[in-house]
């Protein structure tokens, strides 16, 4: 007779854990001890729960699993960024990045194994899609990157960006559950204002964020404010045109009053002219926003190149002259393929 499969305890509610202990003759407070170890202390095994008896820990091991992820490799770049390959319980791999800066320590986390959206400039898009991450697998990335921040830099984690592998809004429920735990006083207790979710632009799901009145920041990967150009590099634009995105971000802002960030990957001789800047400035009129101009990071086989410094400066200046808030971002970790668009471990399919 086959033994019943054990469930992961992190899929249970506090009330379910409490009921489990009571039904097995234990005290209700035991649930609070276990809950704190799971979420506040980010325990990776039942054996770490040191204020619980060995007998109770063994009892938990007999009835439940605790499917934590673990770092399978760590690389450090010339500019001190860390790229960590995380092995999941099913042996799949996702990558996360710890990005140090003078005023912040940022964790870049993944939401899916691979990606289905095939953006032409992105290495992850070449992998195809394998599966969504569970909310606790997302949370584990944050916990481990926070640990690396303290161990390697002696600094706390200050910011989280969902800009790793995958499209967060295609894993919507797990995304929101992960953010709920990241921001909960019972867990990591980080401010939602320190969290940014980046999307390629799924109009329906952006509206859903508005309906759910999310408190975290939204970044839209625009990369062109011209439907022909955007569709050329981002197939998702065929069903999520700029008109649809404009309507979606207006709806999102009306519901949340959160300023939207437009991310603009500036590519040599493709979207780096003043004409392109003018189109972007027009799109920015839809909603209170800021623009992050991102330099291109090399991905083999795309044919794209970095825009010249002269063109980037002129592009940014054009926007600034129209009272648009602009930041020109240089990604860290390029020499270890940890920068924007470069995450593409070859181990994702097992």
Q: Report the CATH number at residue 57.
A: 1.10.150.530
Give the three-class secondary structure for 130.
strand
> Residue 31's closest CA among 47, 19, 39, 41?
19
Burial class of residue 154, CB neighbours in 10 A (0-12, 13-18, 19+): exposed
What CATH number is given to the structural domain containing 131?
Answer: 3.20.20.70
Q: Which among 115, 119, 122, 340 is annotated as catalytic?
A: 340
* 6's tokens: 């054990």
* Strand partners for 328: 293
Alpha helices by DSSP H, listed for the chain, are 14-23, 29-35, 54-63, 135-153, 172-183, 203-211, 227-233, 242-256, 274-283, 309-320
48 a catalytic residue: no
134 a catalytic residue: no
Does the residue 143 lie in any domain? yes
DSSP 207: H
DSSP 125: G
> Residue 183's closest CA among 138, 134, 232, 226?
138
Domain boundary among 15, 40, 65: 65
> Residue 344's closest CA among 93, 49, 32, 27?
93
> Structural domain tally of the chain?
2
Does the residue 27 lie in any domain? yes
Residues 186 and 90 in one domain: yes
Distances (CA, A) of 338 to 127, 298, 317: 16, 11, 28
Q: Edge-to-edge strand order for the sheet containing 325-329? A: 70-76, 82-87, 93-100, 105-108, 159-162, 195-199, 217-221, 260-266, 289-295, 325-329
Please check whether residue 42 is in contact with residue 143, taking contact to mean a CB–CB distance below 8 angstroms.
yes
Residues 60 and 108 in one domain: no
Residues 23 and 130 in one domain: no
Does the residue 171 lie in any domain? yes
- The predicted structure's pLDDT at residue 252: 98
Does the residue 286 lie in any domain? yes
Residues 233 and 324 in one domain: yes
Does the residue 1 lie in any domain? no
- The predicted structure's pLDDT at residue 349: 38
Does the residue 44 lie in any domain? yes
* Strand partners for 260: 218, 289
Q: For residue 281, what are the domain limits?
A: 70-336
Domain boundary among 45, 65, 85: 65
Centre a 10 Å sphere on the Cβ of residue 329 and count the other Cβ atoms it contains. Answer: 13
Does the residue 348 lie in any domain? no
Distances (CA, A) of 13 to 18, 97, 284: 9, 30, 42
Residues 159 and 14 in one domain: no
Residues 16 and 101 in one domain: no
Does the residue 350 lie in any domain? no
Residues 77 and 33 in one domain: no
- The predicted structure's pLDDT at residue 176: 98
Residues 236 and 281 in one domain: yes
Residues 124 and 90 in one domain: yes
Residues 29 and 108 in one domain: no
* Average of per-residue pLDDT values in the chain: 91
Q: pLDDT by residue for the chain (350 residues), tens digit each?
A: 344 578 899 999 999 999 999 999 999 999 999 999 999 999 999 999 999 999 999 999 999 999 999 999 999 888 888 999 999 999 999 999 999 988 899 999 999 999 999 898 888 878 889 999 999 999 999 999 999 999 999 999 999 999 999 999 999 999 999 999 999 999 999 999 999 999 999 999 999 999 999 999 999 999 999 999 999 999 999 999 999 999 999 999 999 999 999 999 999 999 999 999 999 999 999 999 999 999 988 777 778 899 999 999 999 999 999 999 999 987 654 554 444 545 555 444 33
Residues 247 and 266 in one domain: yes
Residues 95 and 52 in one domain: no
> Residue 340's closest CA among 200, 229, 210, 225?
200
Q: Which among 16, 19, 95, 137 is annotated as catalytic?
A: 95
Centre a 10 Å sphere on the Cβ of residue 343 and count the other Cβ atoms it contains. Answer: 27
Please check whether residue 276 is in contact with residue 232, taking contact to mean a CB–CB distance below 8 angstroms.
no
């Amino acid at each position: 007779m086959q033994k019943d499969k054990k469930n992961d305890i992190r899929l249970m509610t506090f009330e379910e854990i409490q009921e489990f202990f009571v039904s097995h003759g234990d005290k209700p407070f035991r649930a609070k001890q276990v809950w704190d170890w799971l979420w506040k202390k980010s325990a990776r095994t039942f054996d770490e729960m040191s204020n619980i008896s060995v007998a109770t820990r063994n009892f938990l091991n007999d009835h439940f699993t605790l499917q934590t992820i673990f770092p399978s490799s760590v690389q450090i770049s010339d500019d001190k960024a860390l790229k960590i390959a995380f092995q999941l319980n099913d042996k799949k791999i996702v990558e996360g990045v710890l990005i140090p800066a003078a005023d912040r320590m940022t964790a870049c986390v993944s939401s899916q194994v691979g990606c289905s959206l095939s953006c032409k400039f992105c290495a992850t898009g070449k992998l195809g899609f394998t599966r969504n991450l569970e909310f606790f697998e997302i949370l584990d990335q944050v916990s481990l990157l926070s640990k690396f921040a303290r161990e390697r830099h002696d600094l706390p984690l200050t910011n989280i960006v969902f800009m790793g592998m995958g499209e967060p809004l295609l894993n919507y429920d797990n995304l929101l559950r992960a953010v709920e735990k990241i921001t909960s006083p019972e867990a990591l207790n980080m401010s939602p204002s320190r969290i940014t979710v980046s999307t390629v632009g799924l109009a329906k799901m952006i509206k859903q964020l508005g309906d759910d009145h999310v408190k975290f920041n939204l970044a839209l990967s625009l990369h062109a404010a011209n439907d022909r150009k955007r569709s050329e590099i981002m197939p998702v634009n065929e069903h999520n045109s700029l008109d649809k995105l404009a309507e979606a971000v207006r709806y999102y802002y009306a519901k949340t009053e959160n300023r939207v960030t437009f991310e603009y990957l500036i590519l040599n001789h493709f979207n780096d002219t003043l004409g392109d800047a003018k189109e972007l400035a027009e799109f920015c009129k839809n909603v209170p926003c800021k623009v992050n101009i991102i330099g291109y990071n090399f991905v083999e086989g795309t044919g794209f190149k970095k825009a010249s410094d002269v063109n980037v400066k002129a592009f940014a200046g054009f926007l600034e002259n129209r009272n648009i808030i602009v930041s020109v971002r240089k990604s860290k970790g390029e020499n270890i393929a940890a920068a924007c668009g470069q995450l593409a471990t070859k181990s994702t399919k097992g």
